[in-house]
A and B are shown apart, each in its own frame.
Chain A
Amino acid sequence: MTETILSVRDLRVTFETPDGPVSAVRGVNLDLKSGETLAIVGESGSGKSQTTMAMMGLLAANGRADGSVTYRGREILNIGERALNGIRGKKITMIFQEPMTSLDPLYRIGRQLAEPLRYHAGLSARAARPRILELLRLVGIPDPERRINSYPHELSGGQRQRVMIAMALANDPDILIADEPTTALDVTIQAQILELLADLQKRLGMAIVFITHDLGIVRRFADHVAVMRYGEVVEDGAAEALFAAPKHPYTQMLLDAEPEGRKEPPAEDAPALLTGDDVRVTFHLGGGLLAKPTPLHAVKGISVSLHEGQTIGVVGESGSGKSTLGRALLRLTESTGRVAWLGKELPEGIDAMRPYRRELQLVFQDPFGSLSPRMTVGQIITEGLLIHEPTLSRKDRARRADEALAEVGLDPSMRNRYPHEFSGGQRQRIAIARTMILRPRVIVLDEPTSALDRSVQKQIVTLLRDLQAKHSLSYVFISHDLSVVRALSDHIIVMKAGEIVEQGPTDAVFDAPRQDYTRALMAAALSTTRFRTAS
Chain B
Amino acid sequence: MTDATTNAAPSRSLWQDAWRRLRANRAAVTSLIVLIVLGLAGIFGPMISPHPYGQIYQQYVRVPPSLEAYPRAEEIEPAIESLIRRARVEAVGAEVEGQTATVAVRSDQPIDTRITRYFERSDQFTNPQLELADDGMTGTLTVTVDRNYFLLGTDNLGRDMLSRILIGVRISLAIGLLASAMALVLGVAYGAISGYLGGRVDNVMMRIVDILYSLPFIFFVILLLVFFGRSLFIIFIAIGATEWLDMARIVRGQTLSLKRREFVQAAEAMGATRSGILRRHIIPNALGPVIVFVTLLVPKAILAESLLSFLGLGVQDPMTSLGLLISEGAQNMRGAPWLLFGPAATLTVILFALNFLGDGLRDSLDPKER
Chain A interface residues toward B at CB < 8 A: 18-19, 330, 332, 350, 353-358, 361-362, 364-366, 369-376, 378-379, 383-384, 386-388, 394, 397-399, 401-402, 406, 411-413, 415-416, 418, 420, 431, 434-435, 438
Contact = CB atoms under 8 A, between A and B. Distances in A.
B50 interface: no
B6 interface: yes
B359 to A, nearest CB: 15
Contacts of B280: 372, 375, 379, 383
A386 B277 CA distance: 12
A18 B261 CA distance: 28
Given A330-B269, A386-B276, A398 B367 contact: no
A332 B1 contact: no
List 4 tightest A-B contacts by C-beta distance, closest first. A357-B271, A418-B367, A370-B262, A362-B269
A2 B139 CA distance: 123
Contact of A431 (B7, B266, B284): B266
A365 B366 CA distance: 24
Contacts of B13: 376, 379
Contacts, number: 116
B14 interface: yes
B271 A434 contact: no
Interface of B: 1, 3, 6-7, 9-14, 17, 261-263, 265-274, 276, 280-281, 284-285, 287, 365-368, 370
A430 B270 CA distance: 15
A500 to B, nearest CB: 24
Contacts of A357: 269-271
A418 B3 contact: no
Nearest to A377: B11
Most buried by B among A18, A362, A365: A362
Nearest to B369: A18
A374 B367 contact: yes
A374 B283 CA distance: 10
B1 A406 contact: yes
A274 to B, nearest CB: 14
18 contacts: A350-B274, A354-B271, A354-B273, A355-B271, A362-B269, A366-B262, A372-B263, A372-B285, A373-B285, A373-B367, A373-B368, A376-B17, A379-B14, A387-B270, A398-B10, A398-B11, A412-B1, A420-B368
Contacts of A398: 7, 10-11
Given A350-B274, A371-B266, A415-B11, 20 more contacts: A356-B271, A361-B270, A362-B266, A364-B266, A366-B262, A370-B262, A373-B366, A374-B285, A374-B287, A376-B13, A378-B12, A379-B11, A379-B14, A383-B270, A384-B271, A387-B270, A397-B11, A406-B1, A412-B7, A413-B6
A374 B284 CA distance: 7
A286 to B, nearest CB: 15
A402 B262 CA distance: 24
A383 B3 contact: no
Given A350-B274, A357-B271, A376 B14 contact: yes
B276 A387 contact: yes
B263 A332 contact: no
Given A376-B11, A398-B11, A434 B1 contact: no
B269 A387 contact: no
B1 A387 contact: no
Contacts of A365: 262
Given A387-B276, A402-B6, A412-B1, A369 B270 contact: no
Nearest to B260: A369
A358 B7 contact: no
B230 to A, nearest CB: 43
Contacts of B281: 372, 375
Nearest to B268: A332
B interface, over-half SS: helix
A399 B10 CA distance: 10
A416 B284 contact: no
Contacts of A378: 11-12
Most buried by A among B9, B269, B365: B269
A108 to B, nearest CB: 28
B207 to A, nearest CB: 13
B10 A364 contact: no
Contacts of A416: 9, 11-12
A175 B363 CA distance: 43
A383 B272 contact: yes
A358 B368 contact: no
A535 B265 CA distance: 45
A354 B285 CA distance: 24
B269 A361 contact: yes
Contacts of B7: 398-399, 402, 412
A420 B3 CA distance: 24
Contacts of B6: 402, 411-413, 415
B270 A364 contact: no
Contacts of A369: 261-263
A416 B12 CA distance: 6
B301 to A, nearest CB: 27
Given A387-B272, A387-B273, A415-B9, A370 B14 contact: no
A434 B265 CA distance: 13
A364 B272 contact: no
A446 B267 CA distance: 15
Contacts of A435: 270
Contacts of A375: 14, 280-281, 284
A358 B11 contact: no
A434 B285 CA distance: 19
Nearest to B2: A406
A357 B337 CA distance: 69
Contacts of B365: 374
Nearest to B14: A374
A358 B267 CA distance: 12
B368 A364 contact: no
Nearest to A357: B271
Nearest to A412: B6
Nearest to A435: B270
Contact of B269 (A19, A332, A373): A332
A415 B367 CA distance: 14
A190 B108 CA distance: 120
A370 B264 CA distance: 8
Contacts of B17: 376
